[in-house]
Amino acid sequence: MSDPHSNALADRLAARFGETLTISTVRNETTAELSAADLIAVATALRDESAFQFSELVDLCGIDYLGYSQVEWDTDSVSSTGFSRGVEGQAMGRFDWASRPLNEDKPRRFASVVHLLSIVHNCRLRLRVFCDDDTLPVVPSLTLIWPGVNWFEREAFDLYGIIFDGHPDLRRILTDYGFVGHPFRKDFPLIGNVEVRYDPEQKRVIYEPVSIEPRVLVPRTIRNDADLMQAEAEAADDWQRN
């Protein structure tokens, strides 16, 4: 955020925690990456020490980095039949539960991202903790430091299956009672797994496998020309009068 403390914050963090944190500041937003083992000690210090005083935990969310920077539509190379049609790929809109992609041994898929706010210093800090094990992602719980994180951790557990060690009540929160799977994982199909309907014969709501077909309307693609340098140059060039 646009306050003068942000860069000073990165310096203070580096001075206090040294090698424990990997600090980067982009657009005045400071991000610190740390290992799960250090989280509790660092978080306690961030809350209590007068140089930081992050009294509020604003947000915690999970991320699944599976498929980061993978595209469905290759725009770099062209074959004799033209560009790729953009119909291949493994984005979550393209598969159902039975044909979901299996883990490709991507190291460290899951991360928990925390946003802290210091009201006294008027600054924000982002902490990112990667889970070491993809099959059983575990991060220490922050509930003893900021009790308000309780539901955010439940949400991350529900949607990503990240287990928060030490959480007093790690239940599902947003999904249905008895839901199977962690729906925000990138290998969970967008169309879901089951659908419900009322069955007049059994006189109750029943679960069935989904009947809709997965489909993607716009393929995912990465273009570097859209870093807007070119756009600015074009605007300056005033192409309309060319």
Partner 1 sequence: MQEIRNYTMNFGPQHPAAHGVLRLIMEMDGETIVRADPHIGLLHRGTEKLAESKPFNQSIGYMDRLDYVSMMCNEHAYVRAIETLLGIEAPERAQYIRTMFDEITRILNHLMWVGSNALDLGAMAVFLYAFREREELMDCYEAVSGARMHATYYRPGGVYRDLPAQMPQYRESPWHKGNDLKRINSWREGSMLDYLEAFTNDFPSKVDEYEELLTGNRIWKQRTVGIGVISPELAQQWGMTGAMLRGSGVEWDLRKKQPYAKYADVDFDIPVGVNGDCYDRYLVRVEEMRQSNRIIQQCVKWLKANPGPVMVKNFKVAPPTRFEMKEDMEAMIHHFKLFTEGYCVPAGETYCAVEAPKGEFGCYLVSDGANKPFRVHLRAPGFAHLSSMDTIVRGHMLADVVAMIGTYDLVFGEVDR
Interface with partner 1 (CB under 8 A)? 1-3, 26-27, 29, 31, 55-59, 61, 63-64, 68-69, 71, 91-93, 113, 115, 119, 122, 124, 126, 146-152, 155, 172-176, 183-184, 190, 216-218, 220-228, 230-232, 234-235, 239-240
The residue (of 22 and 37) whose beta carbon lies closer to partner 1 is: 22
β-bridge partners, 32? 23, 127
Per DSSP bridges, beta strands 110-118 and 22-26 are unpaired
Give the shortest CB-133-to-partner 1 separation in angstroms: 21
Q: What is the CA radius of gyration of the chain?
A: 23
User: Whose CA is closest to 172, among 183, 159, 191?
Assistant: 159
| 159 token code pair | 């949607």
Nearer to partner 1, 196 or 228 (CB): 228
CB of 191 to partner 1, least distance (A): 10
Using the minimum distance from each CB to partner 1, give the nearer residue, 37 or 228.
228
Closer to partner 1 by CB, 39 or 92: give it: 92
Please, which contacts does 13-20 make with residues 24 or more away whose CB atoms are closer than 8 Å? 13/52, 13/125, 16/45, 16/49, 16/51, 16/52, 17/42, 17/45
User: Minimum CB separation from partner 1 for residue 148, in Å?
Assistant: 4
Closer CB to partner 1, 17 or 151, in the complex: 151
Nearer to partner 1, 37 or 235 (CB): 235
Q: Is the dihedral of CA 209, 100, 84, 75 positive or negative?
A: positive
Q: How far is the CB of 44 from partner 1 (least distance, A)?
A: 14
C-alpha to C-alpha distance for 182 and 66, rounded to whole angstroms: 14
- Taking the complex as a whole, the smallest distance from the CB of residue 201 to partner 1 amounts, in Å, to 26
Give CA–CA dist 20/69, Å, rounded. 27
CB of 119 to partner 1, least distance (A): 6
Locate 81 and state its tokens: 């039949």
Contact 1, 30 (CB under 8 A): no
Pick 206 or 231: Cβ nearer partner 1: 231
Q: How many C-beta atoms lie closer than 10 Å to residue 216's C-beta? A: 15
Q: Measured from the CB of residue 1, what is the shortest distance to partner 1 in angstroms?
A: 5
In whole angstroms, give the CA distance from residue 52 to residue 9.
Answer: 8
